Chain A
Amino acid sequence: MDLNYSPEEQAFRVEVRQWLSDTLPRDLSEKVRLGKRLTKEDSVLWHQLLNARGWLAPNWPKSHGGAEWNAVQRQIFEEEACLAHAPRVVPFGLSMLAPVLMAFGSEEQCQRFLPRILSGEDWWCQGYSEPGAGSDLAAVKTRAVRDGDSYVVNGQKTWTTLGQYANWIFCLVRTDPDVKKQEGISFLLIDMNTPGVTVRPIVLIDGGAEVNEVFFDNVRVPAENLVGDENKGWTYAKYLLTHERTNIAGVGFSTAALETLKDVAGKVQAGGKPLAQNPLFAARVAQVEIDLMAMATTNLRVVSAAAKGQAPGAESSMLKVKGTVIRQELTALLRRAVGPDAMAFQPDYLEGGDNVDMMGPEHAASAAPSYFNMRKLSIFGGSNEVQRTIITKAILGL
Chain B
Amino acid sequence: MMDFNLTEERRMLQDTLRRFLSDTYDHERRNKVIASGAAYDTDTFQSLAELGVLGALFPEAQGGFGGTGFDLATVFEELGRAGTIEPVLTTLLAGGVVSDLAGDSQADLISSIIDGGTVVALAHSEPQSRYDLESVATVASSDGADVILSGTKAHVINGAQAQMLVITAREHGEQTDVEGISAFCVPIDAKGVTVVDHINVDGTSAATVVLDDVRVLSQARLGAAGAAYDVIELATARATLAVCAEALGAMESAKALTIDYLKERKQFGIAIGKFQALQHRMADMLIEVEQARSAVVNLAGHIDAPRNERERHVSAAKNLIGRVGAIVAEECIQMHGGIGMTNEYALSHFARRITMIDHQFGDVDHHLERFIALSVQ
CA distance A129 to B360 in the complex (A): 38
Whether A340 contacts B341 by the Cβ 8 Å rule is no
Contact between B363 and A359, CB atoms less than 8 A apart: no
Choose from B200, B275, B338, B359 the contact partner of A345 (Cβ within 8 Å).
Answer: B200
Q: Which residues of A contact B342 (CB under 8 A)?
A: 202-205
A344 touching B201, Cβ below 8 Å: yes
B67-75, B83-91, B122-130 - the one binding chain A: B122-130
> In the complex, which residues of chain B have a beta carbon less than 8 angstroms from the beta carbon of A368?
201, 352, 355-356
**CB of A177 closer than 8 Å to a CB of B:** no
> Is there an interface contact between A372 and B352, defined as CB atoms closer than 8 Å?
yes
B176 and chain A: residue at smallest CB distance: A272
Closest Cβ of chain B: how far from A375's Cβ, in Å?
5
The answer to whether B364 touches A134 (Cβ under 8 A) is: no
* Nearest neighbor of A347 in chain B, beta-carbon distance: B199
Q: Are A205 and B333 in contact (CB under 8 A)?
A: yes
Instruction: Please measure, in the bound complex, the distance between the C-alpha atom of A139 and the C-alpha atom of B272, giving whole angstroms.
Output: 15
Question: What per-residue 1/0 map shows which CB atoms of B115-145 lie under 8 Å from chain A?
Answer: 0000000000101101110000000000000
A373, closest chain B residue (CB): B341
Residues of A within 8 Å of B338, CB to CB, are 129, 134, 158-159, 211, 379-380
A379 to B365, CA, bound (A): 28
B254 within 8 A of A: no
Are A343 and B343 also in contact (CB < 8 A) when A135-B337, A270-B130, A359-B208 are?
A: no
Give the CA-CA distance A372 to B356 in the complex, in Å. Answer: 11
Q: How far is the CA of A389 from the CA of B276 in the complex (A)?
A: 11
Q: Which of A269, A346, A389 contacts B130 (CB 8 A)?
A: A269
Q: How far is the CA of A124 from the CA of B275 in the complex (A)?
A: 34
Chain A nearest CB from B205 CB (Å) reads 10
- Which of A159, A281, A360, A378 is close to B154, meaning CB atoms less than 8 Å apart? A360
A192 to B95, CA, bound (A): 58
Contact check, B365 vs A340: say whether CB atoms are below 8 A apart. no
B131 → chain A closest CB, angstroms? 7
Q: How far, in angstroms, from A380 to B19 measured CA to CA in the complex?
A: 38
Query: When chains A and B are docked, how far (Å) is the Cα of A344 from the Cα of B351?
Result: 16
Q: Tell whether, in the assembled complex, residue A342 and residue B359 are in contact, meaning their CB atoms are under 8 Å apart.
A: yes
Q: How far in angstroms is the closest Cβ of chain A from B291? A: 20
Does A136 belong to the interface (CB within 8 Å)? Answer: yes
| A376 interface residue per 8 A CB criterion | yes
Name the distance in Å between B26's Cβ and chain A's nearest Cβ.
Answer: 18
What are the interface flags for B323-352 relative to A under an 8 Å C-beta threshold, 1 for contact and 0 otherwise? Answer: 000100010011001101111100010011
Is the Cβ of A346 less than 8 Å from the Cβ of B267? Answer: no
Q: Does B277 contact A (CB under 8 A)?
A: yes
Given contacts A203-B342, A204-B341, contact A342 B198 (CB under 8 A): no
For B352, the chain A residues whose CB sits under 8 A away are: 205, 368, 372
Task: Check A271 against B341 for contact (C-beta < 8 Å).
Answer: no
Least distance between B117 CB and chain A CB atoms (Å)? 28
Query: Could you tell me the distance between the alpha carbons of A48 and B139 in the complex, rounded to whole angstroms?
Result: 55
Q: Are B341 and A205 in contact (CB under 8 A)?
A: yes
The total of chain A residues at the interface (CB under 8 A) is: 50
- Given known pairs A134-B338, A205-B348, A372-B351, the reply for A342 and B356 (CB within 8 Å) is yes
B337 touches A342 (CB 8 A): no
**Does the CB pair B341–A357 fall under 8 Å?**
no
Once the chains are docked, how many angstroms separate the CA of A360 from the CA of B201?
14
Most chain-A CB neighbours within 10 Å: which of B198, B202, B330, B341? B341
Q: Which positions 314-364 of chain A face chain B at CB distance < 8 Å? A: 328, 332, 335-336, 339-340, 342-346, 357, 359-360
Judging by beta carbons under 8 Å apart, are B198 and A359 in contact?
yes
The verdict on A343 contacting B356 (CB below 8 Å), with A136-B267, A205-B351, A336-B364 known, is yes
Q: Please classify the interface of chain B as helix (H, G, I), strand (E, B), loop, or mixed, using the class held by over half of its residues.
A: mixed
**How far, in angstroms, from A158 to B267 measured CA to CA in the complex?**
16
Are B275 and A385 interface neighbours, CB within 8 A? yes
A235 contacts the other chain (CB 8 A): no
Chain A contacts of B225 at CB under 8 A?
Answer: none
Q: Would you list which residues of chain B between 47 and 69 have a CB under 8 Å from chain A?
A: none
Residues of A near B340 (CB, < 8 A) are 205, 375, 379
Which residue of B196, B199, B334 contacts A379 across the interface (Cβ within 8 Å)? B334
User: With A372-B351, A379-B337, A385-B278 in contact, is A343–B127 under 8 Å at CB?
Assistant: no
A208 to chain B, nearest CB (A): 9
B344 touches A203 (CB 8 A): yes
Chain B residues, Cβ within 8 Å of A270: 130-131, 366
A344 touches B267 (CB 8 A): no
In the complex where A357-B196, A360-B127, A383-B337 touch, is A339 in contact with B267 (Cβ < 8 A)?
no
- When the two chains form their complex, are residues A271 and B198 in contact, meaning their CB atoms are under 8 A apart? no
Contact B341 A339 (CB under 8 A): no
Report whether A378 and B334 are in contact in the complex, using a CB–CB cutoff of 8 Å. yes
A375 close to B341 (CB less than 8 A): yes
The distance from the CB of A338 to the nearest CB of chain B, in whole angstroms, is 8
CB within 8 Å for A280 and B369 given contacts A340-B155, A344-B198, A368-B201: yes
* Cβ A135 vs Cβ B268 within 8 A: yes
A383: chain B residues at CB < 8 Å are 334, 337
* A343 near B154: Cβ-Cβ < 8 Å: no
Using CB atoms, name the residue of chain B closest to A369: B201
> From residue 185 to 230 of chain B, which have CB atoms closer than 8 A to chain A?
196, 198-202, 206, 208
Check if A207 is an interface residue, CB within 8 A of chain B: yes
With A336-B365, A359-B208, A375-B334 as contacts: A134 and B267 at CB distance below 8 Å: yes
Contact A345 B201 (CB under 8 A): yes
Q: Who on chain B is nearest to A344 by CB?
A: B198
Task: Enumerate chain B residues within 8 angstroms of A139, measured Cβ to Cβ.
Answer: 267-268
Shortest Cβ distance from residue A239 to the other chain B in the assembled complex, whole angstroms: 21
Contact B278 A379 (CB under 8 A): no
Contacting B at CB under 8 A, from A12-64, are none
Complex interface: chain A residues within 8 A of B326 (CB): 332
Tell me the nearest residue of chain A to B199, going by C-beta.
Answer: A345
A194 at the interface (CB under 8 A from B): no
**Could you jot down 23 A-B contacts, CB within 8 Å?**
A139-B268, A204-B341, A205-B341, A205-B342, A268-B130, A284-B365, A328-B330, A339-B131, A340-B130, A340-B154, A340-B155, A340-B360, A343-B155, A343-B206, A343-B360, A344-B206, A345-B199, A345-B201, A368-B356, A372-B355, A375-B341, A383-B337, A385-B275
List 6 tightest A-B contacts by C-beta distance, closest first. Answer: A136-B267, A203-B343, A205-B348, A343-B200, A345-B201, A280-B365
17 further interface pairs, Cβ-Cβ under 8 Å (given A345-B200, A379-B338): A129-B338, A134-B338, A135-B337, A136-B269, A203-B342, A204-B342, A205-B340, A205-B343, A270-B130, A270-B366, A340-B154, A342-B201, A344-B198, A345-B199, A360-B154, A372-B341, A389-B277
A residues lining the B interface (CB < 8 Å): 129, 134-136, 139, 158-159, 202-205, 207, 211, 268-272, 278, 280-281, 284, 328, 332, 335-336, 339-340, 342-346, 357, 359-360, 368-369, 371-372, 375-376, 378-380, 383-385, 388-389
